[in-house]
Amino acid sequence: MNRFLRISLSAVAGLAVLSCTPKKDEKKEDPAIGFNVTRVFPHDRTAFTQGLTIDGGRLFESTGQDASWIAEVDIVSGKQTKRIQLEKKYFGEGICILNRKIYQLTWKSHTGFIYDVKTYAKKGEFSYPYEGWGITHDGKRLIVSDGTDKIHFLDTASLKETSSISVRGASGALQNINELEYIEGYIYANQWQTPFIFKIDPATGNVVGRLDFSVIAEKMRVAYSNSDVLNGIAYERKSKLILITGKLWPNLFAIKLK
């Protein structure tokens, strides 16, 4: 059992399982997905979270603003040691890990970076014509968001776009698509400045479900007044747990879908 699983599945005295199921009388624009919060971990409240991912049981995070970095995060303490620090001219965005490489986007510089996941040595760069927001992969392609309703699919050899989709929910085009995570055949996406994560069919771009984190987001604002928006999704395949957090949040949450 890997380190993440040992931590995530251990019993915690006094921790009640929080059930988050939307009320029946709520207006639903897209099908609601219920979930349980199974664990709560500390999170670095100075981290302006842009990306979150798990590789080999290890949690990695990327941040933005003036001190943009990538680091492996100790899930128990929320602290980082070894970091990749970006030059100040770059605003870091999402990350994903594929084939032992870390792929990182930057916001308006149209530049992505590639690092060795073990040594953090820089392996290369790539470019794209739109803003960089979120990134994930399906094992074969990189999947990138640009802050609009578009999601782009990139070939991992050439790092050039091969196709794209427009994300549509019950109310039409879904703008501000941000952090991404590929989970069991679907793309899960934060929508910037909302407490929602949307489940998207990668073949059509259609939204097939929505997770509502309004209660958790409000708890974070009460706990720490500087807490910003929900942002950060990471999936641990063996336990089927999803980790979520937000920019400058004091906590990170492990959830299980109902």
Q: What is the pLDDT of residues 205-216, one digit of tens each?
A: 999 999 999 999
pLDDT grade, residue 29 (50/70/90)? confident
Q: Which of 159, 162, 161, 220 is nearest to 195 (CA)?
A: 220
What's the pLDDT at 30? 93
Q: What is the pLDDT of residues 118-156, one digit of tens each?
A: 999 999 999 999 999 999 999 999 999 999 999 999 999
Asked if residue 255 lies in contact with residue 241, where contact means CB atoms within 8 angstroms, the answer is yes
pTM for the full predicted model:
0.89
pLDDT grade, residue 10 (50/70/90)? very low
| Mean pLDDT in residue range 163-187 | 97
Q: What is the pLDDT of residues 73-105, one digit of tens each?
A: 999 999 998 899 999 999 999 999 999 999 999
Angle (nearest 5°) at CA 249 between 244 and 253? 30
Rounded CA-CA distance 72/84 in Å is 10
pLDDT at 107 over 80: yes
Only one residue has tokens 């910003």, namely: 228
Sign of the CA dihedral running 165, 169, 173, 179:
negative
pLDDT at 17 over 80: no
CA dist 104 → 61, 74, 94, 187, 196 (Å):
11, 20, 6, 18, 23
Query: Mind listing the domains of the chain with CATH numbers?
Result: 3-257 (2.120.10.30)
